[in-house]
Amino acid sequence: KDRDRLEALRADETFAPPLDDRAIRRDCYRLGPELLIDRALLYWAKAGAPDNAALQRILDAVEAWEPVSLPGKGDDVLALGVPTGEAVGSALKQVEEWWIGEDFRPGRDRALEKLREVASVRAPG
């Protein structure tokens, strides 16, 4: 487990700590709160002078973070007639990126609407 954690830290040399709440939530979702904190601490350790206010903001936001799940699943994509396989994953990825961009606010109804939009664009004809 420790090896995996260290590998994850080493994986992104271009990491810069998120500085606004929306970006912190995005990174909590994508990286997970523990890895986000680890990478932020490592970033400031390398820089030599931490931005204490920014670090505290990240710590506070991570503490308040409630994990979220995409309000749409593969079965929802299949129900729209998208063929099984890569197309399902691609459609979900597009909706997930949109949902993250909307700061995780859209619920299931709006996510399904977006899935229908994505599925209709993908449909032949």
How do residues 58-106 score in pLDDT, each as one tens digit? Answer: 999 999 999 999 999 999 999 998 888 898 999 999 999 999 999 999 9
pLDDT for position 125: 43
Running DSSP on this structure, what letter comes out for residue 84?
Answer: S
Cα–Cα distance for residue pair 97/3, rounded to 1 Å: 29
Nearest to 23 by CA among 103, 81, 79, 118: 103
Per cent of the chain over pLDDT 70 is: 96
pLDDT for position 34: 92
26: left (phi over 0), alpha (psi -120 to 50) or beta: alpha
pLDDT for position 72: 92
Provide the residue type at 14 as one letter.
T
pLDDT digits (tens, 9 = 90+) for 5-41: 888 887 777 888 998 999 999 999 999 999 999 999 8
